[in-house]
Amino acid sequence: MQIRHATPEDAPGCLALYAPFADHTPVSFEHGAPSLEAFRQRIVRVSRTHAFLVAEEAGSISGFAYAGVHRERAAYRWACEVSVYLAADARGRGLGTALYTTLLDLLERQGFRTALAGVSLPNEPSERLHRSLGFEPIGVFRRIGWKAGAWRDVLWLTRALGPESEEAELPPPPGPPVRLDRPIDLSTGGMAQPAG
């Protein structure tokens, strides 16, 4: 098992993993899975500004995690939203933790200061994962979306990245995405360091 940056060629594997969430559950608020080309473009678009990681095992995608823009206005540029999705047979093996730990490290090195995550309720495994990684709940958006036949609540969680002290002057904006210098091999416990 390895964690590496996604490429457009990973779109079929990522989409196969993601489609059941979009088609049949309230976990994703998309009303149906996107097309293969749309998912391919999603990987390209996200990778221009943030990290999009995949976990690959024996040539198959077992999970993926990525970050994106929280809001467009300039004062929000140090914040990003993060998501992780795992194949059914990959859950409970620490893969979500490995993907998120790697992603959060890359985002911190890039210069982001806050990571946000939205979890549609109920979803105890996702809540547990986020809390285990230092995310703190900040509120629930009640009845914010209609999915899978009902109104859904979304729990929002936040985690600080970077220094926790208050700056006296404006910090530099996040730079270009930080990349791993090589894939992380989880089977040996080896860790790769981000390049740069």
- For the record, the structure tokens of 187 come out as 């089977």
Q: What is the mean pLDDT of residues 42-47?
A: 97
Which helix or strand (DSSP H or E) is residue 126 part of? helix 124-132
pLDDT band at 160 (very low <50, low <70, confident <90, very high): very high
User: 17: closest CA among 116, 95, 69?
Assistant: 95
Which percentage of the chain shows pLDDT scores above 90?
84
Q: What is the mean pLDDT of residues 43-47?
A: 97
Going along the chain from its start, the domains and CATH numbers come out as 2-164 (3.40.630.30)
Query: Is the distance from CB of 63 to CB of 90 less than 8 angstroms?
Result: yes
Tell me, yes or no, if the pTM score tops 0.75: yes
Q: State the burial class of residue 11 (Cβ atoms within 10 Å of its Cβ: 0-12, 13-18, 19+).
A: buried
Residue 118's SS3 state is strand
Give the per-residue pLDDT at 182: 93
Query: Is the distance from CB of 85 to CB of 53 less than 8 angstroms?
Result: no
Is the predicted pLDDT of residue 58 greater than 60, yes or no?
yes
Mean pLDDT over all residues of the chain?
93
Q: Which residues contact 164 (CB under 8 A, 6 or more apart)?
A: none
Give the per-residue pLDDT at 193: 45
What pLDDT digit, counting tens, does each position of 125-136 carry?
999 999 999 999
Q: Which residues contact 111 (CB under 8 A, 6 or more apart)?
A: 78, 162, 171, 172, 173, 174, 175
What pLDDT digit, counting tens, does each position of 69-79 carry?
999 999 999 99
Give the per-residue pLDDT at 189: 59
Is the predicted pLDDT of residue 192 greater than 50, yes or no?
no
Is the predicted pLDDT of residue 102 greater than 80, yes or no?
yes
CA dist 118 and 115 (Å) reads 10
Per-residue burial over 141-156, b if 16 or more Cβ lie within 10 Å, else e, is eeeebebeeeebebbb
Q: What is the mean pLDDT of residues 93-104?
A: 95
The β-bridge partners of 146 are 151
